[in-house]
Amino acid sequence: MTIVNEPTGMIQEEEINRMRWASRRGMLELDLVLEPFVDARYAQLDLRDRQRFQQLMLCEDQELFAWFLRRERPQDEELAAIVNQVLEFAHTPPGDR
């Protein structure tokens, strides 16, 4: 499956829709963090960060919850990098996003 349309570098809407669906978790707290991030930032991420986010969506809800509450930090530095971006977004006032 092609993630990026090579000639234009544009992200395919199908990929964004998959990430919207993946960001709908079993915990409302996670939905409130992940869905706005996907809607506002996912399309602007570079390929590497999109891959990191896709990997993040494969993690268990309990892990995500601990990371987003900053109770724990992902051991994987790739996951830690995207968690930091999501947290930075979540802690930015909506008018400044």
Residue 73 falls in which region: left (phi positive, over 0), alpha (psi -120 to 50) or beta? beta
Domain boundaries, the chain: 11-92
CB 68 within 8 A of CB 86: yes
**Cα gap 20→8, rounded to integer Å:** 22
Distances (CA, A) of 36 to 7, 42, 84: 28, 9, 15
Does the domain spanning 11-92 belong to CATH 1.10.150.250? yes
Summary mean pLDDT of the chain: 90
Q: Which pLDDT band, with edges at 50, 70 and 90, does 95 fall under?
A: confident
Asked whether the predicted pLDDT for residue 70 surpasses 50, the reply is: yes
Question: 14-41 pLDDT, tens per residue?
Answer: 999 999 999 999 999 999 999 999 999 9
